[in-house]
Amino acid sequence: MNWTTFAALLMRDAHVARRNILTLFLQTMLQPLLFVFVFGQVMTRSGLMTDAYKSMLLPGIIAVTMVMAGVQAVSVPIIIELLTKEIEDRLLAPMGTRWLAVEKIVAGVVQALLAGAVVLPAAWLMMGRHIGVSFAHPGQFVAVMLLVALLASAGGLALGCSVKQAHLGLIFSLILGPMIMFGCAYYPWSALGSFPILQMVVLVNPVVYASEGLRGTLAPQVPHMPVLLVIAVLVGIDIALIAFGMNRFQHKTVK
């Protein structure tokens, strides 16, 4: 594998992302930051919610931001490149087809991590310093962040190679929207105890493990799933999504 070519393609994707930085920011960051402001400031200052809700909310917001950023960063360019045949130019690069898919996954991981990293200081500015998060388990936090970023990026690859451009908006509204609402981003998984059937059904939703994993590492005082269990599940989901996404990419590009 030609690592110089791999790095060049990665730098090209980084250049495109920098050129569209405002659009990317509005697409991935605006809604999460509005949630932070409304629930972290308006609802708590008015007394409708306690200050403790901030520490429960923030990890979920980071998870949602990373998932949306990674999925959009990979799926949308792939769909456009397949539609315009631009992907054929990339296939001429001196590297295997699967490595081209790996490059797209790596680019998506970087964008998802950057999006998640931006939310935390923004939340400090909007909510105040005392938001009840800590970095007492840095190793677990880094592991969960990487796995969530990989989940988003690999999911974007699988989505981009499986959905037509005309159906992309429908997928985001009918599938990704409910996945986020029932992904335990705005409440802990234990809060669904009053709905036992729903509590079991949502366990098929990868966003649940992203939210619960970040909650367990950033705000361990809040009810959450065991972090090691979450890490194990995320590893399994990531492997499955990578395998499926790369096979779909191979099928779409190799005729």
Q: What is the pLDDT of residues 23-42, one digit of tens each?
A: 766 666 677 777 777 777 77
Tell me the average pLDDT across 149-163. 91
* The pLDDT of residue 235: 97
d(C-alpha 64, C-alpha 225), whole Å = 17
Contacts of residue 201, defined as CB under 8 A and 6 or more positions apart, other chains included, come to none
**pLDDT tens readout for residues 180-213:** 889 999 899 999 999 999 999 999 999 999 999 9
Tokens 């998802």 correspond to what residue?
Answer: 112
- Categorize the per-residue pLDDT at 161 as very low, low, confident or very high, splitting at 50, 70 and 90: confident
d(C-alpha 118, C-alpha 253), whole Å = 34
Tokens 């998984």 correspond to what residue?
Answer: 189
Neighbours of 158 (CB within 10 A): 24
- Whether the pLDDT of residue 1 is over 60: the answer is no
- Residue 17 and residue 74 in contact, taking contact as beta carbons nearer than 8 Å: no
* The pLDDT of residue 93: 65
* The pLDDT of residue 233: 97
Closest CA to 75 of 255, 205, 248: 248
- Residue 59 and residue 214 in contact, taking contact as beta carbons nearer than 8 Å: yes
Classify burial at 171, counting beta carbons within 10 Å of its beta carbon; exposed 0-12, middle 13-18, buried 19 or more. Answer: middle
Mean of the per-residue pLDDT values for the chain? 84
Q: Crossing angle of helices 138-160/227-253, nearest 10°?
A: 30
**pLDDT tens readout for residues 100-153:** 888 899 989 998 998 888 887 877 777 766 677 888 888 999 999 999 999 999
**pLDDT tens readout for residues 45-91:** 777 677 777 888 889 989 998 998 899 889 888 888 888 777 766 66
* The pLDDT of residue 28: 67
